[in-house]
């Protein structure tokens, strides 16, 4: 894949439940969100959006939920073992995030990143939130 349009087409084909994020459209940005099954009757919300910083990049986010204040340090320590991005807090909620340059991103690598991020987020959600926050 080489462009955002390639990414969009792939996501729409690979993840039929992907929907455009309306709020991003209002901000003149583009992105998709969808649910990904992670096993054990659990799902993870995934967002893939174009990053508006000149270089063609995407950001992949997976929601963990709101980690209690007394557990955040322990969650951050677990996140150091993530092979990508990291744990972030946005609008009071915690996510696993990765930014990727689109230039040489293959469909296989995109799928691997999405599934890996969802898996790590799901494991942290299960440990620190308990149930499925989605």
In a domain, 22, yes or no: no
Residue 80's pLDDT band, with cuts at 50, 70 and 90, is confident
Residue % of the chain over a pLDDT of 70? 91
Q: Which residues of 25-35 are buried (b: 16+ CB within 10 A; e: fewer)?
A: eeeeebbbbbe
In a domain, 21, yes or no: no
- Whether residue 30 is predicted with pLDDT greater than 90 in this model: the reply is no
Measured CA to CA, the distance from residue 58 to residue 7 in angstroms comes to 9
Instruction: Please give the tally of structural domains in the chain.
Output: 1
- Whether residue 12 is predicted with pLDDT greater than 50 in this model: the reply is yes
- What value does the mean pLDDT take over residues 33-39? 88
In a domain, 20, yes or no: no
Residue identified by tokens 């690598």 is 109
Q: What is the pLDDT of residues 83-103, one digit of tens each?
A: 877 899 988 999 999 999 998
What pLDDT does 54 receive? Answer: 79
In a domain, 34, yes or no: yes
Chain-wide mean pLDDT for the chain? 86
In a domain, 23, yes or no: no
- What value does the mean pLDDT take over residues 49-61? 87
pTM, whole model, 2 decimals? 0.86
Of 57, 37, 58, 38, nearest in space to 49 by CA: 58
Q: What is the pLDDT of residues 106-121, one digit of tens each?
A: 999 999 999 999 999 9
In a domain, 42, yes or no: yes
In a domain, 74, yes or no: yes
What pLDDT does 59 receive? Answer: 92
CATH of the domain at 80: 3.30.1460.10
Residue 134's pLDDT band, with cuts at 50, 70 and 90, is very low
What pLDDT does 28 receive? Answer: 63
In a domain, 81, yes or no: yes
Residue identified by tokens 């992949």 is 60
Can you spell out the DSSP letters for 16-53? TT-EE-HHHHHTT--EEEEEEEEETTEEEEEEEEEEEE
Task: Write out the residue range of the structural domain in which residue 83 sits.
Answer: 4-15+29-128
């Amino acid at each position: 894949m080489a462009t955002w349009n390639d990414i969009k087409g792939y996501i729409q084909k690979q993840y039929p439940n992907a929907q455009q994020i309306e709020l991003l459209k209002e901000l003149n940005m583009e992105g998709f969100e969808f649910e990904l099954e992670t096993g054990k009757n659990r799902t993870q919300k995934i967002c893939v959006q174009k990053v508006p910083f000149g270089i063609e990049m995407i950001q992949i986010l997976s929601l963990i939920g709101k980690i209690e204040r007394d557990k955040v340090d322990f969650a951050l320590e677990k996140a150091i073992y993530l092979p990508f991005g990291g744990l972030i807090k946005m609008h009071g909620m915690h996510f696993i995030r990765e930014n990727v340059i689109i230039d040489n991103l293959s469909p296989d690598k995109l799928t691997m990143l999405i599934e890996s991020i969802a898996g790590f987020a799901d494991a942290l959600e299960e440990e620190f939130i308990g149930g499925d926050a989605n």
